[in-house]
Amino acid sequence: MSMSQEKNRPLLEVRDLGIAFATATGEVQAVTDSNFTVMPGETVAIVGESGSGKSTSALAAIGLLPSNGRVNSGQIIFDGEDITHASEKRKVKLRGSQIGMVPQDPMSNLNPVWKVGFQVRETLKANGLPSKDEDVARVLSQAGLPDADKRAKQYPHEFSGGMRQRALISIGLSCQPRLLIADEPTSALDVTVQRTILDHLQTMTDKLGTAVLLITHDLGLAAERAQKVVVMYKGRVVEAGPALQLLRNPRHPYTQKLVDSAPSLASRRIEVARARGEEVDDLLAEHPQTAMQSALKQNFVQVQDLTKVYKLRGSWGRSEDFTAVDQVSFSIPRGTTTAVVGESGSGKSTVAKMMLGLEPITSGSIVFDGQDVARLRGKEMFAFRRRVQPIFQDPYGSLDPMYNIYRTIEEPLRVHGVGSAKEREQKVRELMDQVSLPQSMLARYPNELSGGQRQRVAIARALALNPELVVCDEAVSALDVLVQAQILNLLAELQHDLGLTYLFITHDLAVVRQIADNVCVMQKGKLVETGSTDSVFENPRTEYTQQLLAAIPGAGLITAG
Amino acid sequence: MPENNIENNDAAGRGLDPEARGREAAVREVRDTADTPAGSHQKDIGGPSAGLMMEHFVADATTTPVAETDSRSAEGAPVSLWRDAWRQLRKKPTFIIAALLILLVIVVALLPQLFWTENPSAASTQCLLENSNGKASAGHPMGFTAQGCDVYSRVIAGTRASLMVGLLTTIGVVVIGGLIGALAGYFGGWIDGVLARLGDVFFALPLILGALVVMQLPFFKAHRGVWTLVVVLVLFGWPQIARIMRGAVVEVRNADYVVSARSLGVSSLGILMRHIIPNAMAPVIVIATISLGTFIVAESTLSYLGIGLPPSMMSWGNDISDAKDAFRSNPMPVFWPGLALSLTVLSFIMLGDALRDALDPKARKK
């Protein structure tokens, strides 16, 4: 074999791969006829929604399918060797030294009872590499962990999420594998951390010449980080090709939908169009400016010096104060969407809870339509609850699994004693129409619905009492990209039709760009910047906001086109 | 609106013609080399391998149709947790056997006259000493006791008392233990502390020892019977259920649907009764089913020790106790009530196991 042939040989080649899972209801084909290749040193991204088979395909390559899964057709060829049905011994040999893995959730993938250094050493030992303290420290510091020798002696719970992911990357790369499989490596992390981690991962793999198979749900991120993108849908590869070509000229209907809907890309498109002075038609948020609304321009909700202090249990029974929300002031005009953006721990969810009257306010005030929320008691509070309703992040957790859909949506009406049984049924049916769910679904239970459908039910329940303010706490974060776009659309439509006011709590600036009129950026409990969405995005005044904006994946991808 | 077409506001539904896409599908084209990425994060794609291998693959759109976003077929009957559990259970042999046996035991307890050859407690029935320790004969399939009574009829007649004690104790334990556990778990803080310590006190007392002491108290001594025995067993049995209920409630307490209910203005008690307890019941029901068997055993043990049901009442425990003296010469009067006891207890435990498998979502995932 000549030298050039050797170089042109793919490192990983997946041919007509089929994977089936044995389940209680029979065999389920998770992956069908999938093909993709990874060349040495290349970064390939597999993009798809949950259940598309993207992780399953990658796990099969490393021989880590769950016990009820099996490859039932096709081949997996690693560096010329067919490892589809390789012996366990051979697979163990390949793992670590040839194929490394960075798992998705840094919180659960480090063993909490062992020191981080020990866990790195384990990997080094297993692959027959030197595993002295200094080797461990070197590996950790290569992953960008400061004070590595000290850090190695700490336990995972002493690490932040970003540091844990660095530790996992260092474990994955410690034996200098030729292929690194990164399964949603940064999905659980804040955007700014995500960016530094991915940057670092890229530098490291470039230096080592490691090929990366990146699995992600974010097309913008995939296109930014990989040369080649493979789009999977319902267990099949529907499109594969050079990242930019695929992004600018998607051919398969699914890819086209995906490109249209990805929030990071959509928000970029808005930026680009604005820069060119064009009106954007795929702007999701409607900004109704009716006469009525301008007349009502008075501030609907006024938040003044809002502060929340939690007492943490310190040592020896002393309590320490922790200020979760620190002197936050902003106002929400009626009929608009105000987004509160921040990373985890910024206090944004605490603001939402206080707005809903679920957490007592330490100091400061929330004035809702002229009423001080903190002073509401008994009947007044009950009446207030009717006017302010929440929609939560997790559509799997926010619906009582024992209630069918009808009972779920009827509950607010029953609790507030609205109408007779007949009238309530009428109202529930209207609400189902409003959120575009079929009437036939009323008798079903939440576990039978998809994520988006559940979120629609949650929206219908929130709207049952004709509230004026809806607090959306990460309402679309747990949904697949296309579903997310649909739900955002639905929320915008409902706002237009019903004149709702939204307080939108999110970590995702890309979503903010699509839906919000005003933005409040929070960092560590403090409000760092506030203003209209356009002004904040076009002219961010604080460094933190600039960082957040720069961290939206896909920068330069659309502009270049 | 068609039934299965759930979404109507498709974000990207503009002008996709699947057929047109299908015609140009499966096009493989070599990458346009002029289209070099310009992004700041892009790796430099040079090298001999890159250009050659990168082709644009598009799957045939007709074989990979794009379904409606977020649609899910809505066929078949609605499935609640219980209906789903029932679907699984009815296919399980252990469940079927256990359920049939329990059904039989219940019928025997309710209508013993259908089964016995003679009513052992009726005045007309006399135990004849000439039959003492007699072997099985026609009409007396299980032989006779030392007193010359028909074992079969006594086993049938003893079912009611044993089952009553088991059922009533279980109901009492679930209600009292469940309530205490739910309150402790839901309110937490000092209420939890007090109730948990109280439970620990009773948990630490061995059931038999505790029952021995309590049953010696004058009041209990004077009123021995099913109800006093149930009271004693509940007194020492509730902490187990309370602990399980507490754990289940703590798990459910912070669920988003509970927060949703709170922000609807549902009262604390309303949330506890309507949302939290129904969702926390599954593990309690499982444990209660299993412990129903152990309460029947406890009744027999206490009766055997002479402090359970009064000797005048017919129960399996009393029968075993009576027959123990003649055990070496005639073990059958011990064997038959013992077998009835074991089968009943076993079937309740089997039922509990099957229920656990069906109700535990983690076990179901396998």
pLDDT for B279 equals 85
pLDDT for B68 equals 67
Burial of A378 (0-12, 13-18, 19+ CB in 10 A): exposed
In a domain? residue A159: yes
- Bridge partner list, A76: A14
Q: Buried b vs exposed e over A231-241: b needs ≥16 C-beta within 10 Å?
A: bbbbbbbbbbb
Q: Is the CB of B325 inside 8 Å of chain A's CB atoms?
A: no
Residues of A (439-478) whose Cβ lies below 8 Å from B: 440-441, 443-445, 447-453, 458, 461, 465
Structure tokens at A371: 């009423």
Q: What is the pLDDT of residues B298-353, one digit of tens each?
A: 888 888 888 888 877 888 888 888 887 777 887 888 888 889 888 998 898 888 88
Helix (H) or strand (E) run with residue B245 in it: helix B226-253
Using alpha carbons only, give the angle A511, A516, A517 rounded to the nearest 5 degrees.
155
pTM here is 0.75
Contact list in B for residue A458 (CB cut-off 8 A) is: 260
List, in order, residues 6 or more apart from B106 with CB less than 8 Å away. Answer: B163
DSSP B144: B
Number of domains in chain A: 3
| A40, A245, A254 member nearest B66 (Cβ) | A254
Same-domain check for residues A15 and A159: no
Nearest C-alpha neighbor of B168 from the set B296, B63, B21: B296
Q: Is the CB of B331 inside 8 Å of chain A's CB atoms?
A: no
pLDDT for A297 equals 54
Integer Cα distance of A219 and A126 in angstroms? 36
Nearest C-alpha neighbor of A456 from the set A443, A471, A466, A446: A446
In a domain? residue A457: no
| A404, A411, A453 member nearest B72 (Cβ) | A453
Strand positions, DSSP E, A314-406: 319-333, 337-341, 363-368, 371-372, 388-391
- Bridge partner list, A322: A310
Contact predicate A194/A551, CB 8 Å: yes
The answer to whether the Cα torsion of B331, B336, B340, B343 is positive or negative is positive
- Domain stop point among A134, A156, A176: A176
Q: Is the CB of A493 inside 8 Å of chain B's CB atoms?
A: yes
Same-domain check for residues A307 and A246: no
Count of residues making up chain A: 561
Burial of B37 (0-12, 13-18, 19+ CB in 10 A): buried
- Domain stop point among A176, A195, A229: A176
Contact list in A for residue B32 (CB cut-off 8 A) is: 245
pLDDT for A130 equals 83
Using alpha carbons only, give the angle B345, B350, B354 rounded to the nearest 5 degrees.
150
Q: Is the CB of A37 inside 8 Å of chain B's CB atoms?
A: yes
Using alpha carbons only, give the angle A73, A79, A83 rounded to the nearest 5 degrees.
35
Tell me the percentage of chain B whose pLDDT exceeds 70: 75
Contact list in B for residue A560 (CB cut-off 8 A) is: 37-39
CA distance A245 to chain B (A): 7
A437/B46: higher pLDDT: A437
Q: Give me the DSSP letters along A76-122.
A: EEETTEE-TT--HHHHHHHBTTTEEEE-S-TTTSS-TTS-HHHHHHH
Structure tokens at A109: 């993938």
Nearest C-alpha neighbor of B53 from the set A33, A213, A76, A4: A4
Same-domain check for residues A256 and A315: no
Mutate to test the interface with A, among B14, B35, B66, B262 (most CBs of A within 10 A): B66
State yes or no: pLDDT of B13 exceeds 70: no
Contact predicate A481/A315, CB 8 Å: no
Structure tokens at A470: 């809806």
Q: CB contacts < 8 Å between A and B, how many? A: 244
List, in order, residues 6 or more apart from B197 with CB less than 8 Å away. Answer: none
pLDDT for A536 equals 87
In a domain? residue A11: yes
Structure tokens at A51: 């259940």
Contact predicate A548/A508, CB 8 Å: no
Residue span of the structural domain in which A110 resides? 104-176
User: Any idea where the domains of chain B sit in the sequence?
Assistant: 150-343
Same-domain check for residues A232 and A309: no
- Bridge partner list, A99: A95, A179
Same-domain check for residues A86 and A2: yes
* Total Cβ atoms within 10 A of residue B120: 20
Same-domain check for residues A325 and A357: yes
| Rg of chain A on CA atoms, in Å | 26
Burial of A87 (0-12, 13-18, 19+ CB in 10 A): exposed
In a domain? residue A274: no
In a domain? residue A537: yes
What pLDDT band is residue B183 in, cutting at 50, 70 and 90?
very high
Nearest CA in chain B to A223: B42
Residues of B (142-201) whose Cβ lies below 8 Å from A: none
ipTM of model: 0.75
Integer Cα distance of A332 and A470 in angstroms? 12
State yes or no: pLDDT of B53 exceeds 90: no
Same-domain check for residues A20 and A150: no
Please check whether the domain covering B150-343 is classified as CATH 1.10.260.40: no
Nearest-10 crossing angle of helices B151-187, B189-204: 150
Q: Buried b vs exposed e over A487-516: b needs ≥16 C-beta within 10 Å?
A: bbbbbbbbbeeeebbbbbbbbbbbbbbbbb
| A243, A245, A441 member nearest B32 (Cβ) | A245
- Bridge partner list, A21: A28, A69
Contact list in A for residue B39 (CB cut-off 8 A) is: 223-224, 244, 555-557, 560
User: First and final CA of chain A: distance in angstroms?
Assistant: 40
Q: Is the CB of B51 inside 8 Å of chain A's CB atoms?
A: no
In a domain? residue A275: no
| 3-class secondary-structure state, position B86 | helix
pLDDT for A285 equals 44
pLDDT tens digits in sequence order for chain A, 561 residues long: 444 455 678 889 988 899 988 876 678 888 888 888 999 889 999 998 887 888 888 888 888 888 888 888 888 998 888 888 888 888 888 887 888 888 877 777 888 888 888 888 888 888 888 888 888 888 888 887 878 888 888 888 888 778 888 888 888 888 888 899 998 888 777 777 788 888 888 888 888 888 999 998 888 888 888 989 999 988 889 999 998 888 888 888 888 888 887 776 666 666 666 666 655 544 444 444 444 444 455 678 888 889 988 887 666 667 778 888 888 888 888 888 899 998 877 888 889 989 988 888 988 889 888 888 888 888 888 888 889 999 988 777 888 888 888 888 999 988 888 888 888 888 898 888 888 888 888 888 887 777 788 888 999 999 888 899 999 988 888 788 888 888 888 888 888 888 888 999 988 888 888 888 889 999 888 899 988 888 888 888 888 888 888 887 766 565 443
Mutate to test the interface with B, among A52, A201, A206, A227 (most CBs of B within 10 A): A227
Helix (H) or strand (E) run with residue A131 in it: none
Same-domain check for residues A117 and A167: yes
Integer Cα distance of A234 and A252 in angstroms? 14
pLDDT for B77 equals 58
Q: Is the CB of B1 inside 8 Å of chain A's CB atoms?
A: yes
The CATH number covering residue A26 comes to: 3.40.50.300
What pLDDT band is residue B78 in, cutting at 50, 70 and 90?
low
Integer Cα distance of A531 and A519 in angstroms? 6
What pLDDT band is residue B242 in, cutting at 50, 70 and 90?
very high
Residues of B (276-315) whose Cβ lies below 8 Å from A: 278-279
List, in order, residues 6 or more apart from B254 with CB less than 8 Å away. Answer: none
Integer Cα distance of B19 and B28 in angstroms? 18
Nearest C-alpha neighbor of A163 from the set A183, A140, A182: A140
Same-domain check for residues A27 and A159: no
Q: Is the CB of B18 inside 8 Å of chain A's CB atoms?
A: yes
In a domain? residue A327: yes
Contact B11 A482 (CB under 8 A): yes
Q: Give me the DSSP letters along A401-459.
A: TTS-HHHHHHHHHHHTT-S-HHHHHHHHHHHHHHTT--GGGGG--GGGS-HHHHHHHHH
Contact list in A for residue B54 (CB cut-off 8 A) is: 227-228, 241-242
List, in order, residues 6 or more apart from B182 with CB less than 8 Å away. Answer: B245, B246, B249, B272, B276, B277, B280
Nearest CA in chain A to B64: A238
Integer Cα distance of A27 and B28 in angstroms? 32
Nearest C-alpha neighbor of A390 from the set A431, A365, A354, A423: A354
What pLDDT band is residue B7 in, cutting at 50, 70 and 90?
very low
Contact list in B for residue A445 (CB cut-off 8 A) is: 78-81
Contact A486 B59 (CB under 8 A): no
Instruction: Reduce the secondary structure of A183-227 to three states and give it as a string.
Output: ECCCCCCCHHHHHHHHHHHHHHHHHHCCEEEEEECCHHHHHHHCC
Contact predicate A388/A471, CB 8 Å: yes
Using alpha carbons only, give the angle B238, B240, B245 rounded to the nearest 5 degrees.
95
Integer Cα distance of A152 and A171 in angstroms? 12
In a domain? residue A63: yes
Same-domain check for residues A224 and A357: no
Same-domain check for residues A87 and A149: no
CA distance A398 to chain B (A): 4
- Domain stop point among A176, A196, A219: A176
Same-domain check for residues A360 and A486: yes
Integer Cα distance of B62 and B60 in angstroms? 5
Phi, psi dihedrals of residue A441, rounded to the nearest 5°: -85, -5
Contact predicate A49/A451, CB 8 Å: no
What pLDDT band is residue B75 in, cutting at 50, 70 and 90?
low
A472 φψ region: left (φ > 0), alpha (ψ -120 to 50), beta (else)? beta
